[in-house]
Amino acid sequence: TTAAGQETTGGAASGELIVLGFSQVGAESGWRAANTKSIQDTLTKENGFDLKFSDAQQKQENQITALRGYIAQGVDVIAFSPVVETGWDAVLQEAKDAGIPVILTDRAIDSEDDTLYESFIGSDFVLEGKMAGDWVKEQYDGQGYKIVELQGTTGSAPAIDRQTGFAEAIEGTDLEIIASQTGNFTRTEGKTVMEGFLQAHDKIDLVYAHNDDMGLGAIEAIEAAGLVPGEDIKIVTIDAVKDGMQALADGKINYIVECNPLLGPDLAELAKKVVAGEEVEKRIVVKDLAFDQEAAKEALPTRQY
């Protein structure tokens, strides 16, 4: 047992720190960096937490190892943002058997057993995709646009849901997705995939990227091909992190749907409740905005991430 403010290895009686094991997806994007910062800045000793943090480098097996480590250490609560949707039942059952509550942040899991976690806090990714698609439809329906899609990590909730939402929104229009490939949510792969798209297709009117970073990579590929991003090829992305918003304000991106990464404060509150045995909501939906070029110019000076 330790006094408040000191390192502790378990137990959450009053005055002790809550030991929270967090398994992060990786460091793939600007969004992820802002999300990690929010969690590390909030789950501090001053705020009652002893945070154990690990980075899975976008690999599910690393995350499972991290979760097993937290179970073995007997942490008070586990939180994680699952790299992919499926394949979690066994390890989450182990946490449940050990009496360790689990909170999902940012990304959902696909499981029939919703007793394996206490709560899921994060954005509605289908809605984000739909907001992006609705804007594209409003702007370009009737012009026969050929669209290429840069998908997020294969099997991840945001990649699956953002594809679904966008496809639903443009259904029944003359807008057509002519190619769709994963860029793994990174700038480098976004650029490489876009280079391939540009080589394979004579006519590309619009890029729909599942995050800003892949859109920023696509900008590099488009410019290298001697074309003007935002004009010759329109670009729509999701996240609204600083670099994305700057490119939007500069006219290189045309529209961005936000995905708020600042989940630290809500996670802290949830974790305190869960450890205290209080009832919590099973699903907490984070609200997102959307920006066109003018709105980005206005928002940029006061943007937190």
Binding site for ligand AHR (CB under 6 A): 28-29, 31-32, 106-107, 158, 185, 211, 238-239, 259
Q: Is the Cβ of residue 184 or residue 254 nearer to ligand AHR in the bound state?
A: 184
The count of C-alpha atoms lying within 13 angstroms of the C-alpha of 44, restricted to the half-sphere facing its C-beta, is 7
The DSSP output letter for 229 is B
Q: Closest separation between CB of residue 128 and ligand AHR, Å?
A: 8
d(CA 11, CA 8): 8
Q: Is the Cβ of residue 28 or residue 189 nearer to ligand AHR in the bound state?
A: 28
d(CA 207, CA 178): 10
d(CA 289, CA 251): 19
Q: Closest separation between CB of residue 30 and ligand AHR, Å?
A: 7
Show the CA angle centred on residue 92, arms to residues 89 and 160, nearest 5°.
Answer: 55
Q: Is the Cβ of residue 29 or residue 163 nearer to ligand AHR in the bound state?
A: 29
Q: Is the Cβ of residue 169 or residue 259 nearer to ligand AHR in the bound state?
A: 259
Residue 134 in tokens:
């609705």
Q: Closest separation between CB of residue 106 and ligand AHR, Å?
A: 5
Q: Closest separation between CB of residue 150 and ligand AHR, Å?
A: 11
Phi, psi of 22 (to 5 degrees): -115, 125
Q: Closest separation between CB of residue 242 and ligand AHR, Å?
A: 13
Q: How far is CA 237 from CA 10, 19, 67, 128, 176, in A?
A: 42, 36, 32, 10, 17
Q: Is the Cβ of residue 48 or residue 152 nearer to ligand AHR in the bound state?
A: 152
Residue 246 in tokens:
């700057």
Q: Is the Cβ of residue 50 or residue 288 nearer to ligand AHR in the bound state?
A: 288
